[in-house]
Amino acid sequence: MLEEKNKHYHIINYGCQMNQSDSEHYAGQLESFDYQLAGHYSGADLVLINTCCIRESAEKKIHGKIGELKHWKEARPGSVMVLAGCMAQKDGEKLLAKYRQLDLVLGTFHISRFAQILAEFSESRQRRVVVDEELSDDEFAGSVSRRSGFSAWTPIMYGCNNFCTYCIVPYVRGRERSRSEEEIVAEVRRAVAAGYKEFTLLGQNVNSYGLDWGKKGSFAKLLQSVDEIKGVERVRFMTSHPRDMGEDVVAAVAEGKHLCEHFHLPVQAGSDRIIAAMNRGYSREEYLKLVALVRSYLPAASITTDIIVGFPGETDEDFAATCSLVEEVGYDAAYTFLYSARSGTPAAKMPDQVALAVKKERLKKLMEIQNASGLKRNQALLGSVEEVMLEGASQTDVNMLTGRTRTNKIVVWPRSGGDMPPGALVPVLITAAQTWILKGQKENDS
Ligand code: 5AD
Ligand code: SF4
């Protein structure tokens, strides 16, 4: 492998946190293969695009990027271009045939085999697609290369068993498989030793962690185990499925010392008819009960959600139910999406697809309602002192620092006094509230 020395890699990541975590795995394997990070693809000998296919808009962007990289590839004989992730899993053969600049197309089932596949490619220079769904025992093995220095993605399970009718994920990431608690705890311990303080436990549906071994209550227990690891300052988790989220998890967060009071509970829609057509497995009433349960244990917890507008058959009345639910819950933030038909999913074939103009109009209205709600929730924090984990200088003003509250709200405050390292916990007095950010000043700095 000596000839690989002094080569550079660049990863372009799209999609969710799970993809970011997978990209850290690819980076770790490339580094163990003696590649070094390049800040931009122009300085790289290997470019890996980690793809997402959750909505058509994501795919369009990625097609554009693959096209853009054609010139990079042509100008660098011997360079390697890898397409990985969900879109690669979905359309592997087609993509390899369409884009001559691609060397390797690697789906989501063989992340830990990347270094080996790359080594084989270096020998043979044979273009190749690896999308078979045969899982190996060492699926989760391999070193990761993290960059933030203080906050670590920690995958606890891969795949999804839910088959929401709009969603492509179960088709491109396979069935649920959970990592063992020992493996997760060992990974967190190693990251703590490397200086990491915040851990986000990741899975498509973290509440069903361990159910693949038939063990109920495993997620709450895992939260407790990670909470107890010395050096862990904050533990987050996502994504929760409202159908599977039990009181044991809410109670664990309430009792835990480092478990952050933030619940991301994707509701997707507010009308029972649409929730059922989405195959979500809960009713509006059950969802609202869950929100009430969270607030009964943790009145100050933040609650965020995902919502899709324009699901097939969504009427004005159904949409009004989504708006009223958003008002009733009073979310801290909501990620709102236009429904995007994904071929192969049941919803793509449903009648009464909603016109784009209608979807856009509904999205605009929903965002207005949510923005008002987010602002109100943030204004409630005016005058309070929040524990903020420092991330670093603000991107827009080097004289300002930025970080997050335990409830995952972004806070910006003026830099003052000596430099603190990223990951430091800073008490910040909140003095101004906007829809997406809070402003403040370090306590005792007035
Ligand atoms: N169209 C629009 N949004 C979608 N999501 C998942 N599938 C689709 C789709 N086909 C949204 C859901 C999910 C989030 C990650 O993406 O709201 O929670
Ligand atoms: Fe993540 Fe889903 Fe996009 Fe895959 S398709 S990257 S699992 S959001």
* Spacing, Cα 361 to ligand 2 middle (Å): 26
Relative to the CA of 204, which ligand 2 atom is closest?
Answer: 7
Residue whose CA is closest, atom 3 of ligand 2? Answer: 52
User: Looking at the predicted structure, is the pLDDT value of residue 252 above 70?
Assistant: yes
Cα–Cα distance, 392 to 386 (Å, whole number): 17
Relative to the CA of 58, which ligand 2 atom is closest?
Answer: 3
> Residue 292 burial by CB count (10 A; 0-12/13-18/19+): exposed, middle or buried?
exposed
3-state class (DSSP) for residue 315: coil
The answer to whether the beta carbons of residues 51 and 14 sit under 8 Å apart is yes
Relative to the CA of 307, which ligand 1 atom is closest?
Answer: 17
**Confidence class for position 1, pLDDT limits 50, 70, 90:** very low
pLDDT score, position 220: 98
The larger pLDDT score, comparing residue 213 to residue 404, is at 404
pLDDT score, position 214: 84
Across the chain, mean pLDDT equals 95
CB atoms within 10 A of CB 376: 13
Q: Render pLDDT for 393-410 as a digit per residue (tens, 0 to 9).
A: 999 998 999 999 999 999
User: Looking at the predicted structure, is the pLDDT value of residue 384 above 70?
Assistant: yes
Cα–Cα distance, 42 to 1 (Å, whole number): 23
pLDDT score, position 410: 98
Choose which residue among 12, 17, 19, 164 to substitute to test ligand 2 binding: the one with the highest number of ligand atoms within 8 A of its C-beta: 19
User: Looking at the predicted structure, is the pLDDT value of residue 446 above 80?
Assistant: no
No. of helices (H) and no. of strands (E), the chain? 12, 19
Cα–Cα distance, 280 to 291 (Å, whole number): 16
**Confidence class for position 215, pLDDT limits 50, 70, 90:** confident
User: Looking at the predicted structure, is the pLDDT value of residue 130 above 80?
Assistant: yes
Which residue's entry shows tokens 């980076």? 27
User: Looking at the predicted structure, is the pLDDT value of residue 4 above 80?
Assistant: no
Q: Render pLDDT for 57-77 as a digit per residue (tens, 0 to 9).
A: 999 999 999 999 999 999 999
* Spacing, Cα 280 to ligand 1 middle (Å): 12
Write the DSSP string, 13-57. Answer: E-SSHHHHHHHHHHHHHHHHTTEEE-SSGGG-SEEEEEE--SSHH
Cα–Cα distance, 13 to 27 (Å, whole number): 11
3-state helix, strand, coil in the chain (%, to 5): 40, 25, 40
Choose which residue among 14, 53, 306, 331 to substitute to test ligand 1 binding: the one with the highest number of ligand atoms within 8 A of its C-beta: 306
Q: Render pLDDT for 92-102 as a digit per residue (tens, 0 to 9).
A: 999 999 999 99
The answer to whether the beta carbons of residues 226 and 181 sit under 8 Å apart is no
Q: Render pLDDT for 260-278 as a digit per residue (tens, 0 to 9).
A: 999 999 999 999 999 999 9
Q: What is the DSSP letter of 194?
A: T
Q: What is the CA radius of gyration of the chain?
A: 23
Relative to the CA of 50, which ligand 2 atom is closest?
Answer: 6
Q: Is 54 in the pocket of ligand 2 (CB under 6 A)?
A: yes
**Confidence class for position 5, pLDDT limits 50, 70, 90:** low
User: Looking at the predicted structure, is the pLDDT value of residue 2 above 50?
Assistant: no
Q: Which two tokens stand for residue 143?
A: 């070193």
User: Looking at the predicted structure, is the pLDDT value of residue 33 above 90?
Assistant: no
pLDDT score, position 145: 92
Buried b (16+ CB within 10 A) or exposed e, 68-95: ebeebbeeeeebbbbbbbbbbbbbbeeb
pLDDT score, position 419: 82
pLDDT score, position 401: 97
pTM of the predicted structure, to 2 decimals = 0.95
